[in-house]
């Protein structure tokens, strides 16, 4: 389970990085993004201690895990929309925001890696209703 802990700790660090960078941006898309990001961060904080008990993560951590994944889908969507907005409004913040896309992509690939680990260990049926399909290995 150490692998999962490493992954989710990295996600938490990414969430902090994004939150700090977006800061107090007042566009509605940025606000939506931040609201979801803060929820994700909070759920990661709930999830991390539970990862110590490997056997029960899909029961004790199921809800937090599911929210973390679903939040990531939303963050990705709102963030990309916000990037388009920054571009169209020629906002000087654009280059910095574009750099954050790499962080988001890293988060996504780590979540995909975690999905794969969880599926390997607990089987597809155990994760089907917890992890959104787009994070699962493609054979499904």
Least separation, in Å, of the C-beta of 126 and other proteins?
Answer: 11
Counting other chains too, the contacts that 82-89 makes at CB distance below 8 Å and 24 or more residues apart are: 82/25, 82/27, 82/29, 82/30, 82/33, 85/27, 85/29
Least separation, in Å, of the C-beta of 100 and other proteins?
Answer: 16
**In the complex with other proteins, which residue's Cβ is closer, 17 or 70?**
70
Closest CA relative to residue 58, chosen from 135, 133, 129? 129
**In the complex with other proteins, which residue's Cβ is closer, 56 or 89?**
89
Q: CB atoms < 10 A from the CB of 13, how many?
A: 13
Least separation, in Å, of the C-beta of 2 and other proteins?
Answer: 26
Q: How far apart are CA 113 and CA 79, in angstroms?
A: 22
Residues that bind other proteins (CB under 8 A): 27-29, 31-32, 35-36, 39, 62-63, 66-67, 70-71, 74, 76-78, 80-82, 84-85, 87-89, 124-125, 128-129, 132-134, 137-140
């Amino acid at each position: 389970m150490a692998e999962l802990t490493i992954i989710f700790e990295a996600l938490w660090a990414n969430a902090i990085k994004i939150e700090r960078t977006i800061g107090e941006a007042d566009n509605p898309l940025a606000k939506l993004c931040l609201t979801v990001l803060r929820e994700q961060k909070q759920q990661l904080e709930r999830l991390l201690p539970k990862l110590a008990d490997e056997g029960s993560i899909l029961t004790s951590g199921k809800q937090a895990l599911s929210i973390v994944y679903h939040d990531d889908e939303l963050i990705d969507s709102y963030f990309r929309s916000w990037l388009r907005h920054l571009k169209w409004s020629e906002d000087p913040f654009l280059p910095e925001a574009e750099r954050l896309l790499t962080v988001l992509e890293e988060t996504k690939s780590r979540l995909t890696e975690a999905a794969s680990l969880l599926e390997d260990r607990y089987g597809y049926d155990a994760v089907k209703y917890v992890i959104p399909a787009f994070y699962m290995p493609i054979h499904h």
